[in-house]
Amino acid sequence: MPLEMRKTSQWWYGRYNVGGKVHCVNLWVRIEGKRPDSITQDGNAEYQVSKGKAQGKFESMVKQAQEKRQSEEYVQKLHEIRTGRRIDSIPLGDFSAEWDKAGRKRSGSPRYVAQAHSLFDRFVGFVQKGYKDAKTLGDVTAAMAEAFMGGERARGVSGRTFNAALILLRSAFKVLAQKANLARNPFAGIMTADEDTTHRKPFTQDELLAVLKATEADPFIRPVVVTGVCTAMRRGDCCLLRWADVDLKERFVRVKTAKTGETVEIPMFPILCQEIQKHGTPGAEFVFPEQAKMYLKNAHGVTYRVKRVLEAAGFFDVDEEDESDKKAEVVEDPRPLLPADELLTRGLKFLAEVPEGEIETTKRERMTAAFKAYVGGVCLPEIAANMGVSKSTLSLDLHEIEKRTGLRVLRSTGMKRPPKSLGEVSAARKKGLRRASVRDFHSFRVTWITLALAAGVPMELVTRVTGHKTVDVVLKHYFRPGREDFRHAIESAMPKLLMEGGGAVEAVDKGPGETLDEALKALEAMTEKTPSTNSGRAWKKELAEVAALIRQAKEWVDVRVVREVREEVKG
């Protein structure tokens, strides 16, 4: 077939037929000189030269296509002679579907599968746009794979994101290699990128207490946070905790994790048992059905609520330029925070009893729907999106209910950030990459593992709780003790002899007799108290003081022994 000259293009095109398929390609030869009215007419010298170049490239391309077609037919015939069947491959458009049907060790969570499909679709679109002749996975070459991953680098993704895409595509082609008749995995030779991993930071015990205190202002998110703190489970597993996985009698949680499919067993702390008994909904599939509903519909709503709790606890990023405008003290609302069921009953009663004509019918219906959803735990932006109205309109509606009833409705009241940040929630990375999260819901998992390992919990039990198969993953990504916690854990585990410095021998000035006398007097005072006056908190404090005195006496003996040993060595 002939060359083609298009009015809207400055390039020569060629159209040819090979194996019953018509191909039209850009020859990337520029049309020079003055164009004639028709391609069949002669033009000036420059035009004729460019046409000759295009004709030569066109004929070479057609020859290569014909030779390739003949080679493919030869291979097909040879394969058919040997095996009795023709070589088939997987159409590019069937990439995701065939990957779904392929056997894998773990099927993966719905979110993981959706992300994989998105990556495969982007890759297929890339190939179909840039390589018109590629129709099947068998047509994908190493050059195409390298070009696609080069585009990923150009997008400025992090090393971790780049590697995740590369490993997934490499494994997908490996799984489908036989069915797609791949001679070589096109992604096999591509090197992974260096990862500048930013680890999440664990909370100290005092920080954790501040976070739990902040959740009291948001009863909707509190049970999810408490579950995360007490179990080290991921956000989705906490929101979707089922009654079938909870044994309140034995105080154990046994859950098949959504991310890895591993079954974990976790002992329940008393605070979690109390939270489930207080906020759980017996008879429902999920322990916290409203939270599960939000997570399934809009997981970002859960993330937003947790971010607000962390901000109220004192964890937020500091912007030095406008920080002066945000240093607002926590404002205590004098109105009581009613339980959700009581608030809903009283609010709906008010809306139903408003005299006819005082509030327009359409507005009353909107206020009622928004109030129900908001008290049920749905965030204002989500309600606005669902109802098709602005967030400011709904905010005014809820403020009007507050003003007319004297009830405290809006959760934001009392959730303002403190004047000083206890730590940032994100960390800057190299230019072009968004800030990395260092404190979020996943930090509760890091905190649990760090506290457990620092306290001496065996690694075997920790991995049984977290579901990790290898110790390396736990130590690399989750065990992140602070310097003081790290020092305390090491010093507590080491022999006393290694902990004493040269001047520590003379540091203890009280003898063991005097110290033990004080301890005995304190114990006698504790036992003489009546049960009614012996409150739990005060009793624990006094017991700690007695233990400290006994420990001091022991240290005196230890120090004296060390000094005597040193003197004997010197002698």
267 and 372 part of one domain: no
* Cα–Cα distance, 173 to 38 (Å, whole number): 48
Indicate whether 314 belongs to any domain: yes
Query: What are the DSSP calls for 83-125, one per residue?
Result: HSS-----BGGGHHHHHHHS--S----HHHHHHHHHHHHHHHH
304 and 227 part of one domain: yes
* Cα–Cα distance, 456 to 290 (Å, whole number): 37
Indicate whether 43 belongs to any domain: yes
252 and 125 part of one domain: no
Neighbours of 329 (CB within 10 A): 9
C-beta of residue 474 within 8 angstroms of C-beta of residue 449: yes
* Cα–Cα distance, 18 to 323 (Å, whole number): 68
58 and 142 part of one domain: no
Q: Take residue 463 and report the two structure tokens written for it.
A: 């991995």
Last residue of one domain, picked from the residues 83, 103, 128: 83
Indicate whether 565 belongs to any domain: yes
427 and 287 part of one domain: yes
325 and 209 part of one domain: yes
Indicate whether 101 belongs to any domain: yes
* Cα–Cα distance, 454 to 124 (Å, whole number): 48
- Which residue range(s) make up the domain with 381? 340-405
Name 507's Cβ contacts closer than 8 Å, sequence gap at least 6.
Answer: 559
C-beta of residue 390 within 8 angstroms of C-beta of residue 284: no
Last residue of one domain, picked from the residues 83, 100, 132: 83
434 and 325 part of one domain: yes
Q: Take residue 179 and report the two structure tokens written for it.
A: 């069915």
Q: Give the CATH number of the domain where residue 288 resides.
A: 1.10.443.10
Largest CA distance in the chain: 120
Neighbours of 157 (CB within 10 A): 16
C-beta of residue 373 within 8 angstroms of C-beta of residue 362: no
432 and 316 part of one domain: yes
C-beta of residue 241 within 8 angstroms of C-beta of residue 234: no
Question: φ and ψ at 271, to 5 degrees?
Answer: -65, -35
97 and 72 part of one domain: no
Task: Tell me what pLDDT residue 31 has.
Answer: 92
139 and 276 part of one domain: no
State the DSSP H helix or E strand holding residue 82, giving kind and residue range, or none if neither.
helix 45-83
* Cα–Cα distance, 60 to 55 (Å, whole number): 9
Task: Tell me what pLDDT residue 341 has.
Answer: 83
Mean pLDDT by 10 residues, the chain (571 residues): 83 83 85 88 90 89 78 60 61 91 73 88 92 86 90 80 90 87 85 73 86 87 92 90 91 83 84 88 90 87 88 81 44 69 88 83 88 84 84 85 85 65 79 72 86 74 70 51 48 43 41 62 62 59 71 62 48 47
pTM of this structure: 0.49
C-beta of residue 269 within 8 angstroms of C-beta of residue 291: no
Last residue of one domain, picked from the residues 83, 115, 145: 83
Task: Tell me what pLDDT residue 526 has.
Answer: 62
Indicate whether 461 belongs to any domain: no
The residue type of 457 is V
Task: Tell me what pLDDT residue 244 has.
Answer: 93
324 and 389 part of one domain: no
Indicate whether 194 belongs to any domain: no
**Number of domains composing the chain:** 5
216 and 325 part of one domain: yes
* Residues paired with residue 315 on neighbouring β-strands, in sequence order: 423
